[in-house]
Structure 1
Amino acid sequence: MNQITMHQMKQFKNEITRFMMIYKFALDAIETKIEILKEEFQFLHEYNPIEHTKSRLKSPESILKKLYRKGCELSFSSIRENIKDIAGLRITCSFISDIYLIRDMLKKQTDLTIIEEKDYIKRPKPNGYQSLHLLVLVPVFMSDGEERVCIEIQIRTIAMDFWASLEHKIYYKYNQAVPSRLLEELKEAASSASALDRQMERLHKEIEVLKEEQADFAERHRIIINNQEFDLPPALLGLLDGSMDKPKE
């Protein structure tokens, strides 16, 4: 009897380990994709929309607690069906436009399937929370076949992440009703963070326009001869301008 019990326990532990490993491998795969995008922007573009990333994997205890709260059946298939945030990745960006740029890049990855999108930026939560949430199916190839694993991806700006992190710390292990006055202040703080995002986005766009104009000006005041670049001296430019203005005889 003890031998059967030990065998069952070992088999069950193997199943749990395999179950958790699949989610870890899916997280590794999506992080590799994000790292490739970061390196591409670093080497081929002048601007990188990804500031940093952070991943997390729920513990078996946290998974069971959430399953019990939902009142769901205790089985691996039930966990897969009802808990979509076992593995999570948070991507932090500089600007709001970066969020949608990264989302669009992920959509172009043919092996990924976005099964749900929640835009809490266009429609913030009642407490002021803002972020873009994606549920993404990631293929994981194990020795006995392919598994499609659900990963939750949150994409937010630095300001949004700052607010959400502090809001979590304020509420951490606080199980009582929060006074309405504090809720209103937190919502006002979220509005301030959103206003800062919009202002920084506008400044970013204006600077980009100025950079393009400056690059265009430099291009027009430079010549290339035999693969060598030469700046045109201001005096020569003045002479050219004068000759261009001089009427032809």
Structure 2
Amino acid sequence: MELKLFSFIDEALKVRKNYREILETVSQRLGDFFEYSMKSCPGFLNIYTRVKSEESIREKLLRNNFYRIYKDPQKATLSLSDLIGLRIECRFIEDEKKIFYEILKLFNIQGEQGYYRTSLDENIYLRLSEKQPMLQQNGFEIYKIDGYYIYSRTKFNFELQIKSMVNLFWGEIDHSVLYKNYNYLITENFFRSIMYSIKDNLSMIDRQLMILYEQIGNSGSERNSIDEEHFTNLLSKIIHDVYAKKVKKELGFLPDFKNMSDFIVTYLFSKKSPDGPASYGENFIQILERINHLEKEEVNLRHEIKFIREIDFEDSFTRNIGNGILEVINEDFNWYIFFRIIFKMSNKDHNEKEFEEFCRFIKYKYDKTFDEIFDSSRIRQEDRQIIAEYILNYIAENFLINKDINYLLVYALRELENLKTVLEKIVSIESFDQNIERIERSLKNYSKGKF
């Protein structure tokens, strides 16, 4: 004969199934509310929500003897304080406190039994009468707030946590190594001492990361260009490694697109923030956060890149190179993966606008190179324009032969820089004509290769 305990648990799990859609709706509403309310807080990164799984419910009912406390399976299930889990993720441990204080300011209408609500949503209640952060059984502190959401006159409990990157990582270690592992009990004190040491080291890392973040964000115009180069190279390597791993998993081979990653980072740093000018540090963190988010996403590399409207070009150069890229974007793997990364990194709703912005950036890169070349030249401004347009058209024509990504983004730009000593000596259209063969030879002498 089966123990009544297990029939009780089976009934409790049926409750979870019956309320599944409602629980997911409540979870979504909570996530949307806190993301909207907290996204402007210092250090805010992300909102994570989940509905407690059947396995977790079964484990908690057994661990806490809910069968003896509640005789009604439905009441037992709905009484779980973390039936819905909500986590606000932030950068640093100091940011946890800042976000908690923002919550205190937001939930300022007192209710019953230590619960408070906000004027923005009368269905959300948080128990803010308890001291925070709370001390856990493992001896470490955590911001953990009980709450409930009223849906169709029924209370659905949720647990709100605030965790920095380091504490998020620590929580996974503690949960996986200790909480879920029953084999260490004989030497528990030994394990605990090691875990305390790990936690101390993580806290030190948190402080070091915060110092690094503040240094990047506050360095402003005095920042060292060498430091910028190091951070740019770091982002490039991260992008390369993230997508190389995805390509390996999806297609079975490991590509090398270091130059591609370098150019993508340069392009991303050139983009203006929708909220106005951003510092180097702010851009660095935004890009890093976006990469971190994309790393968790599934990427299907077998779907074509599509556009829903025609692309608008500003001039003949962007039109020529843009149409050339569009012809091969789903045939040339280098162009394909390049724009898959850019479109994923972009927050735009459609690919067309990002593609147009990229073509303008290519033109800007070449225009900037010409400005540097002719900076000390004695040639007239009108003649500079004629020469630059001629060379740009020549580069576009050469690009259209093979439509090779390396030629447009690396080789031609580098050759222009190498031709600086020749071009800066040109003082007229006539002297340009005398050197045109050498210039064309340098820009054409390219063997198609891997990017």
Q: TM-score, normalised by structure 2?
A: 0.36
Q: State the percentage of identical aligned residues.
A: 21
Q: How far apart are the structure 2 equivalents of 1:124 and 1:195?
A: 20
Which one is further off, 111-120 or 21-30? 111-120
**Alignment-mate amino acid for residue 164 of structure 1:** G
Alignment of structure 1 residues 74-223 onto 2, 5 Å = 74-75=71-72, 76-81=74-79, 83-107=80-104, 108=106, 109-110=118-119, 111=121, 112-115=124-127, 117=130, 119-120=132-133, 124-125=135-136, 127=138, 129-140=140-151, 145-171=152-178, 172-177=180-185, 179=187, 180-201=189-210, 204=213
Alignment-derived partner of residue 230 in structure 2: none
- Give 1:151 shift: 0.9
Q: How far apart are the structure 2 equivalents of 1:85 and 1:14?
A: 17
- Find the residue that maps to 1:114 and give its secondary structure: strand
Structure 1 residues 19, 165: closer, same or farther in 2, change over 3 A? same
**Alignment-mate amino acid for residue 93 of structure 1:** C
- Give 1:189 shift: 0.9
Alignment-derived partner of residue 58 in structure 1: 52
- Give 1:66 shift: 2.2
Structure 1 residues 127, 67: closer, same or farther in 2, change over 3 A? closer
Alignment-derived partner of residue 20 in structure 2: 20
Q: How far apart are the structure 2 equivalents of 1:165 and 1:186?
A: 12
Structure 1 residues 189, 77: closer, same or farther in 2, change over 3 A? same
Q: How far apart are the structure 1 equivalents of 2:97 and 2:184?
A: 36
- Give 1:204 shift: 4.9
Q: How far apart are the structure 1 equivalents of 2:45 and 2:146?
A: 21
Q: Give per-residue Cα distances to partners, 1:98-137, cap 9 Å, x unaligned.
A: 22332333341433321255634xx654645442111122
**Alignment-mate amino acid for residue 24 of structure 2:** K
Larger RCO (CA within 8 A; separation ≥ 6): 1
- Find the residue that maps to 1:119 and give its secondary structure: coil
- Find the residue that maps to 2:156 and give its secondary structure: strand
Structure 1: which 5+ residue stretches go unaligned? 1-11, 42-46, 215-249
RMSD: 3.5
Q: How far apart are the structure 2 equivalents of 1:63 and 1:178?
A: 27
Alignment-derived partner of residue 229 in structure 1: none
- Find the residue that maps to 2:56 and give its secondary structure: helix
Q: How far apart are the structure 1 equivalents of 2:13 and 2:171?
A: 36
- Find the residue that maps to 2:182 and give its secondary structure: coil
Q: How far apart are the structure 2 equivalents of 1:183 and 1:16?
A: 35
Structure 1 residues 118, 17: closer, same or farther in 2, change over 3 A? farther
**Alignment-mate amino acid for residue 51 of structure 2:** L
Q: How far apart are the structure 2 equivalents of 1:53 and 1:138?
A: 17
Q: Give per-residue Cα distances to partners, 1:165-185, cap 9 Å, x unaligned.
A: 123232334344152222101
Q: How far apart are the structure 1 equivalents of 2:13 and 2:92?
A: 44
- Give 1:57 shift: 1.7
**Alignment-mate amino acid for residue 77 of structure 2:** I
Q: Give per-residue Cα distances to partners, 1:60-83, cap 9 Å, x unaligned.
A: 4532442343232242223333x2
Please identify the structure whose Cα radius of gyration is greater: 2
Whether contact under 8 Å (1:52, 1:93) holds in the other structure is yes
**Alignment-mate amino acid for residue 82 of structure 2:** D
Higher helix share: 2
- Give 1:160 shift: 1.0
Q: TM-score, normalised by structure 1?
A: 0.61
Structure 2: which 5+ residue stretches go unaligned? 1-11, 107-117, 224-451
Q: How far apart are the structure 2 equivalents of 1:200 and 1:49?
A: 12
**Alignment-mate amino acid for residue 139 of structure 1:** I
